[in-house]
Amino acid sequence: MKHLFSAWPEVTARLREARHILVLSDYDGTLTPIVERPELAVLPEETRELLGRLAGNRRVTLGIISGRALDDLRQRVGFSNIIYGGNHGLEIEGPGVNFFHPLAEEIRPLLRLIYELLARVFRGTPAVLVEHKGLTLSVHYRLVEDEKEAEKVRGIFESILAGARSLGKIKITSGKKVLEVRPPVNWHKGKAVQLIMKKYSKGGNRSGALAFYLGDDLTDEDAFQFVEKGGGIPVFVGEENDSSAAGYFLDSPGEVSAFLKSLLEELEKQGPA
Q: Which residues bind Mg ion (CB under 5 A)?
A: 26, 28-29, 216-217
At its nearest, how many Å lie between Mg ion and the CB of residue 13? 29
Q: Measure Cα distances from 54 to 142, 167, 224, 261, 267 in Å.
A: 32, 45, 21, 9, 9
Which of 26, 216, 217, 220 is flagged as catalytic?
A: 26
Task: Pick the closer one to Mg ion by CB: 68 or 191.
Answer: 68
Q: Which residue is nearest to Mg ion (CB)?
A: 29
At its nearest, how many Å lie between Mg ion and the CB of residue 168? 27
At its nearest, how many Å lie between Mg ion and the CB of residue 268? 29
Task: Pick the closer one to Mg ion by CB: 26 or 131.
Answer: 26
Looking at residue 36, what DSSP letter applies? S
Rounded Cα distance between 70 and 59, Å, is 25
Task: Pick the closer one to Mg ion by CB: 136 or 201.
Answer: 136
Contact 65, 189 (CB under 8 A): yes
Contact 97, 90 (CB under 8 A): no
26 in catalytic set: yes
Task: Pick the closer one to Mg ion by CB: 91 or 217.
Answer: 217
CB atoms within 10 A of CB 254: 13
At its nearest, how many Å lie between Mg ion and the CB of residue 174? 13
Rounded Cα distance between 80 and 66, Å, is 16
Catalytic residues: 26
